[in-house]
Structure 1
Amino acid sequence: MQHTDIPSRDSILSLATARDPLSVSIYLPTSPLPQESEASRIALRNQVDEAQRQLLAVGADKREVAAITEQIGDFIADRAFWTHLSNSLAIFVTPTSLKTYRLPNRLEAAVEVADRFYVKPLMRAATFPQTAYVLALAQNSVRLLEISADDVPHRITVDGMPENVADGAGLDPIAGRSPVGHQTGGRAGGGNTPAGRVQGAEGQKVRMAEYSRAIVRALRPLFNGLNVPLIIAGAEPLVSIFRSVATYPHLASQTITGNPEEIPDADLAASARLILDEIYAAQLAALRDNFADRHANGRASTDLSDVARAATFGAIETLFVDIDRSIPGRIDSESGAVTVAEEDNAVNYGVVDEILRRALLSGSQIFAVRAEDVPGGGAFAATLRFAA
C-alpha cells in the first residue's frame, strides 16, 4: 500500500516563496514495500553527504550545516515512517525546519542547495494527482468511492443518498407503489407523477430519472466547488439517464461499464486510474494544440529570456516545465534578465524553478510534465496572456 502526502498549490507556493540562505531540497525514489526501505535510507544518507559538501564548499557556517544534517539524521532514524512510503520522497530542510512529502510519481533523485527550495518536481503530483470520485450506480444500490494515489479506495457516506431506484423515486420498495396513494388511474393521491407513467419499461425510466435527480441533490453539497473528476460505473440505460440530469461540470465522459454491484472497490479504482490517464493525456494534447496556435500568433514562447521576462511581469497564462531538467543560474528580480551558470552549486538555483515560482505568484496554470510532453521539446514552454 502506498502512503502519500500530495501538497496543495498553496503548500507548494509557500515552499516556493520561502527564503533561507541554507535551503536544501532532496528528491529520493522510494518503494511502498517496507522490505525495500533500508535501501532508500542508505540512498538518502548519500544525498545528505552531497548537500553537506555543497554547503561547506561555499563557506556555510558549520553549526548550521550540522543542524541540517542532524535533522535529517533523526528523520532517517524514524523507522516507523520508512515502512509507510510511496514511489518518491521530497524533503525540504533548513537549519530550523524540515518538511517531507511522499509522492505517487516516480521522480529522479536530486539534491539542490540554494537560498530557496527546488519545487519543480513537486509540481508533478499537483499537476496529475490521480484523484477522482467513482459513483458506482445500479438500480438496487449506489455507492461513492474516493480514489487517490493510494491502493485502497475509500467509501464516502453521503447524507440524503437514496438507497435504490424505489427509494429515489419515493416508492414503496416492496410493492413498487407510491406511499401516499394506491390508485391505478389518474394521479396518485398527493403525488406529482401520473400513475399511468410509471408502468412498464417507460415507467421504469421515469423512476430512474427521479432516482438520478435524488442522487444529484445528495451529491451537490459534497461536490460544490470541487474540480475533481467524477467517473460513473454502471450499465445502460441508467448511466445515460444519470448523465442527462447531472450538473457537475467535471463528470468524466468515460464510463466503467458493467454491473458495479459485481465489481470490487479495488477493481473500480484500478479502472478509474486508467480513465484518469486518458483524461490527462487528452488534456495535454489539447494544451499542446493550443500552444501551437498561440505560437503562430505571437502568444507563446520557448525562449528562456522571453519566458523569464513574461514570468517576472505576470504575463504567463500556461507554463509547461520538464520535471527532470534543471538550468542553473539566476533571474533578475526587476527586469527578468537571465544569467545562466555553468555549474550547479549552492550559489545558483534553477532558473526554470524560479520561472515556475513567479508564474505561481501570478496565478498561471502550470503543468509539470515529462520531456516528451513539453511543447518544443525543451525544458519549458509558455503561452502568454498577451502578444510579446
Structure 2
Amino acid sequence: MTTPTVSSPGRLSVARLTELATAQGPCITLVIPHSDGDSFRIKIKDVLRQVEERAGGLAPAVRATLSNAAADGVQPGTFVLLQCGATAEHFETPELLREQVSIGPRFSLRALLPLLSRPQEFLLLALSQNRTRLLRCTATTSEEIAFPAGVPTSLEDAMQTSQPDHMLDNRSAGGPSMGSMRGVMFGTTTEREDKYERLLQFFSALNRGLQPLFAENIPVVPVGVEHELALYRTVNTYPHLVEPGIHGAPDGLKGGEMHRRALELLGATLPEPIRKTLENFDKQVGTGHASVHAQEIVKAAFEGRVASLFLQQDAQYHGDFDAARQRVRHAEDSEENDLLNDAIVQTIANGGFAAVLPASAMPQGVPVCATFRYPL
C-alpha cells in the first residue's frame, strides 16, 4: 500500500474543487471547526476515534499532520483534511464550516461549498482622511497594496493638488487697489460645508484613480465611519462596491476585524451570477429548464445536465442512484448515501456550478433547486 503524502495548498480553488469531484474513492473528508486550541485538540481526538472505527484509522503521515496541527495551535476557524489514495492535503480557513467526518466513494464537497459561494479575492478600501489604505484579501490572507501613482491617500494630499470648485469660484480677482486683499476668499460657505467639499473632492480623486485596479471586476468592500461611507457612495462609479460596507473607523478596528467582518458581509451577499440566475428561476420552472424536486435534480446531475445547483445547508435527500436503470432510490434513513452531495459532485465534474445558500435566498424557500442545460 502506498503511503500518502500530505500537501498544504493554502486554500481551496474552483479548479481544485473540480479535481476533487472526479476523485475515485475511498475518499476521506475531515472538516473540523474550532474556537480555540483546546476545543481543536478535543475534536481531533474524536475525529481520530471515528475514523478508526469506520475505516481502520488514518495513514501515519496523515495522522501526524493532525497531531502536529493540534500541537502547534491554530486560530479560530476550520481545519480541513482531504485524503484519497496516496494523496492528502490540508488547509485552514477563518470561516466556521459545519463539522464533517465522511468516508466514502466521493469527497463530501457540500461541506466545502461555503468557501466558494463567495469571491476568491476581494479588496478592502479603508477610508480615512489621514491615511486611506487598500488591501487585497482572500479568505485567509490580507495584504496592503500600493495605490497607483498620483492617487491621493489622504485629505491633505488631495488638497495639495487641487481645490474645491466653490473655493475657486469665490476668490476675488483683486485689482491693484485691493492691496493685500488680492486672492482672499470672501465666500459665505460655512466651515462644515467647506470640509464637506474638500472630502468630496478627495473621494472623487480616489474613485478616479483606483479604476485601473478595479478593472479585475472583483468585489470592493469599503470601510469607514458612516457619513464618510455615504459620501463615498455619491462619487463611486465602480459597479462591484459591496453594500452596505463596514461601519467603523479603520484605524480603530482591532487587527483582523476588518477582514473578518468583510468575510461575513460577502457571505451574506449573493455574487452577481447567482443573483441573476435566481432572478430568472421562476420563469424557467415548468419549462423543463429548472426544477425544485430533489429526485429530478439528482437524476439530471448524473446525466450531466445540471448547469447550476443551489441548496440550503440543512437540505437532506438520501438513497442511491441506479446508473443501469437511470433511477433514483430515495431512502428516509439519514445514515444512507447523501444523494445531494452526489448531485454536487456530478454537477461540478461536468462543468456546472453548485452553491450553498441561506433559506432567504432560495426561490420560495425550497431546500434545493437547479437549472438545466437542456430540458427533460
TM-score calculated relative to the size of structure 2: 0.71
* Number of the residue aligned with 1:60: none
Q: Does 1:42 find its partner at 2:45?
A: yes
Runs (5+) with no aligned partner, structure 2 = 1-8, 175-182
Distance in structure 2 (CA, Å) of the matches to 1:136 and 1:96? 45
Task: For 1:151-162, list aligned pairs within 5 A.
Answer: 155-160=144-149, 161-162=151-152
Q: Report the residue type matching 1:359 in the other structure.
A: T
List per-residue Cα deviations over 1:64-99 (Å, max 9, x = no partner).
xx8x53333222332566512543333221331111
SS at match of 2:243: strand
Q: Report the residue type matching 1:158 in the other structure.
A: F
Distance in structure 1 (CA, Å) of the matches to 2:185 and 2:197? 7
* Number of the residue aligned with 1:219: 210
List per-residue Cα deviations over 1:96-125 (Å, max 9, x = no partner).
1111233422313332221x3221111122
SS at match of 1:15: helix
* Number of the residue aligned with 1:354: 342
Task: For 1:271-350, list aligned pairs within 5 A.
Answer: 272=262, 275-276=265-266, 278-280=268-270, 290-295=280-285, 298-312=288-302, 314-324=304-314, 325=316, 327-330=318-321, 332=323, 337-339=327-329, 350=338
Q: 2:241 aligns with which of 240, 251, 255?
A: 251
Quote the sequence identity (%): 20
Task: For 1:200-215, list aligned pairs within 5 A.
Answer: 207-215=198-206
List per-residue Cα deviations over 1:288-314 (Å, max 9, x = no partner).
665444335554213334223433555
Distance in structure 2 (CA, Å) of the matches to 1:15 and 1:376? 31
Distance in structure 2 (CA, Å) of the matches to 1:349 and 1:298? 27
CA contact (8 A) 2:119 2:219 kept: no
Distance in structure 2 (CA, Å) of the matches to 1:382 and 1:354? 14
Question: How far is the alpha carbon of 1:153 from its aligned partner?
Answer: 6.1
Distance in structure 2 (CA, Å) of the matches to 1:332 and 1:101? 34
Q: 1:119 aligns with which of 105, 109, 125?
A: 109
* Number of the residue aligned with 1:27: 31
Q: Report the residue type matching 1:97 in the other structure.
A: T
CA contact (8 A) 2:55 2:103 kept: no
TM-score calculated relative to the size of structure 1: 0.69
SS at match of 1:251: coil
Distance in structure 2 (CA, Å) of the matches to 1:196 and 1:300? 69
Tell me whether 130-139 or 95-104 shows the greater mean CA deviation.
130-139
Task: For 1:193-204, list aligned pairs within 5 A.
Answer: none
Distance in structure 2 (CA, Å) of the matches to 1:88 and 1:302? 31
Q: Does 1:16 find its partner at 2:21?
A: yes
Distance in structure 1 (CA, Å) of the matches to 2:186 and 2:274? 45
Q: Does 1:384 find its partner at 2:372?
A: yes
Runs (5+) with no aligned partner, structure 1 = 54-65, 187-194
CA contact (8 A) 1:24 1:51 kept: no
When residues 13 and 224 of structure 1 are mapped into structure 2, their CA distance, relative to the original with a 3 A threshold, is: same
Distance in structure 1 (CA, Å) of the matches to 2:367 and 2:266? 25
When residues 373 and 257 of structure 1 are mapped into structure 2, their CA distance, relative to the original with a 3 A threshold, is: closer
CA contact (8 A) 2:302 2:346 kept: yes
Q: Report the residue type matching 1:352 in the other structure.
A: L
Distance in structure 2 (CA, Å) of the matches to 1:73 and 1:274? 32
Distance in structure 1 (CA, Å) of the matches to 2:257 and 2:279? 34
CA contact (8 A) 2:79 2:90 kept: yes
RMSD of Structure 2 on Structure 1 (CA):
4.5
CA contact (8 A) 2:281 2:290 kept: yes
SS at match of 2:161: coil
* Number of the residue aligned with 1:109: 100
When residues 78 and 220 of structure 1 are mapped into structure 2, their CA distance, relative to the original with a 3 A threshold, is: same
Task: For 1:76-225, list aligned pairs within 5 A.
Answer: 76-79=66-69, 83-103=73-93, 104-114=95-105, 116-128=106-118, 132-145=122-135, 155-160=144-149, 161-168=151-158, 170-171=160-161, 185=173, 207-225=198-216
Q: 2:221 aligns with which of 221, 230, 233?
A: 230
When residues 331 and 203 of structure 1 are mapped into structure 2, their CA distance, relative to the original with a 3 A threshold, is: farther
Q: Does 1:75 find its partner at 2:79?
A: no
SS at match of 1:227: coil
Distance in structure 2 (CA, Å) of the matches to 1:108 and 1:198? 67
